């Protein structure tokens, strides 16, 4: 009887449950899974959305930090006032925590659920606040007050950029004070962010689908997002080489993934929305978005999973 090698000219590769799904496998090939004794066909990697928990306060123009299973939402706007509410997510349920000292929308921030920062916001605020797991305390002021900015990084190595009246300014935070970083090539507002202080990604915004990478000192333009026209107020998460941008204005469910070189469309949000926020800025494979204008202003959240589809194959 002919073997798989006789037919295909190669042996069947082996994968195990301990291997990441992207290595050393190739989509469209057959593999033997040593962990379950099954032959499996690996499909093309794609992103899918599923329903998450419901926030206690519906709002838009908020910001997020943390991960899909340990997320943080803060600030925002709901008719007709700025919000100071902070909520924590455990992967299932949102729980109210200590409020921001200053209610504001169109702010930015970064960090983890127990150590985050929030900076800027309406109206062109310079205020920075630090979250310690239960409440907020004052941090060092931004050099340039602005709203509609974006941010990422950690509480002791944070980054904010753009915003205001299409500012190109970048600032870096060391846990106590802000210093100027390299200017962006294109100033914009309400843009997406991913990555860290020294390896950041900025994309979308009011000026279009431009994408720029930051290396800790300067910004470099790279491939634009796939969607046409301006792309403000989208939710974002991921790293400099593996990011996600979802929703945005006009109100859409469109989702795009970044592989370090180019953007590709993947599965749409269940609920089209704009002015929402994201968590999961350290990974592309497990993210979270929440809030925004659907319309109306929503308190729903959705969880993102990125990976290969796997189909069991019966060998005879």
Per-residue pLDDT of 61-99, as tens digits, reads 999 999 999 999 999 999 899 999 999 999 999 999 999
280-to-87, 88, 160 alpha-carbon distances in Å: 15, 13, 17
* pLDDT at residue 177, as a whole number: 98
* CB-based contact 162:184 (threshold 8 Å): yes
Paired tokens of 82: 């700025």
Second CATH level (architecture) for the domain 53-299:
6 Propeller (2.120)
More confident residue, 284 or 84: 84
More confident residue, 15 or 149: 149
More confident residue, 30 or 198: 198
Spans of all domains in the chain: 4-47+307-313, 53-299
Per-residue pLDDT of 16-68, as tens digits, reads 654 444 444 556 677 788 888 888 777 777 899 999 999 999 999 999 999 99
| pLDDT at residue 173 greater than cutoff 70 | yes
Coil, strand, or helix at residue 206? coil
| pLDDT at residue 191 greater than cutoff 50 | yes
What is the pLDDT of the chain when averaged over all its residues?
A: 90
Span 273-302, average pLDDT? 95
State yes or no: cis peptide before 208, omega within 30 of 0.
no
| pLDDT at residue 5 greater than cutoff 80 | no
Paired tokens of 185: 């090539």
- Residue by residue, DSSP assigns 27-73 as TT-EEEETTTTEEEEEEEEEEEEEE-PPPSS--BS-EEEE-SSSEEE
At 6, is the pLDDT very low, low, confident or very high (cuts 50, 70, 90)? low
Find the radius of gyration of the CA atoms of the chain: 21
In which residue are the tokens 């309406």 written?
A: 122
CB neighbour list of residue 260: distance below 8 Å, 6 or more residues apart: 240, 241, 242
Nearest residue to 235 via CA among 185, 188, 200, 273: 273
Percent of the chain's residues with pLDDT above 70 = 90
291-to-44, 97, 207 alpha-carbon distances in Å: 30, 17, 23
Per-residue pLDDT of 218-262, as tens digits, reads 999 999 999 866 688 999 999 999 999 999 998 999 999 999 999
Instruction: Pick the range with the lowest mean pLDDT from 58-62, 192-196, 205-209.
Output: 205-209
Q: How far is the C-alpha of 179 from the C-alpha of 296, rounded, in Å?
A: 39
* pLDDT at residue 20, as a whole number: 45
């Amino acid at each position: 009887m002919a073997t798989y090698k006789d037919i295909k000219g190669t042996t069947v590769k082996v994968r195990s449950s301990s291997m990441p799904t992207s290595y050393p496998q190739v989509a469209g090939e057959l593999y033997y899974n040593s962990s379950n004794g099954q032959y499996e066909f690996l499909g093309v990697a794609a992103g899918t959305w599923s329903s998450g928990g419901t926030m206690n306060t519906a709002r838009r123009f908020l910001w997020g930090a943390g991960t899909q299973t340990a997320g943080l939402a803060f600030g925002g706007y709901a008719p007709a006032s700025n919000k100071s509410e902070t909520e924590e997510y455990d992967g299932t349920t949102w729980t109210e925590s200590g409020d921001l000292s200053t209610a504001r929308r169109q702010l930015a921030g970064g960090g983890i659920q127990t150590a985050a920062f929030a900076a800027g916001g309406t109206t062109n605020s310079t205020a920075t606040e630090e979250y310690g797991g239960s409440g907020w305390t004052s941090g060092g002021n931004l050099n340039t007050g602005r709203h509609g900015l974006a941010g990422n990084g950690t509480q002791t190595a944070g980054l904010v950029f753009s915003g205001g009246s299409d500012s190109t300014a970048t600032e870096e935070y060391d846990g106590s004070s802000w210093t100027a970083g390299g200017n962006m090539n294109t100033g914009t507002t309400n843009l997406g962010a991913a990555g860290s202080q020294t390896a950041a990604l900025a994309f979308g915004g009011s000026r279009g689908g431009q994408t720029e990478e930051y290396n800790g000192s300067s910004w470099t333009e790279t491939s634009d997002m796939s969607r046409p026209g301006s792309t403000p107020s989208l939710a974002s998460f991921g790293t400099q080489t593996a990011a996600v941008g979802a929703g945005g204005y006009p109100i859409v469910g469109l989702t795009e993934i970044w592989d370090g070189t180019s953007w590709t469309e993947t599965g749409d949000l269940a609920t089209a929305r704009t002015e929402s926020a994201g968590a999961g800025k350290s990974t592309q494979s497990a993210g979270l978005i929440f809030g925004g204008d659907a319309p109306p202003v929503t308190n729903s959240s959705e969880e993102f999973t990125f990976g290969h589809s796997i189909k069991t194959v019966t060998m005879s």
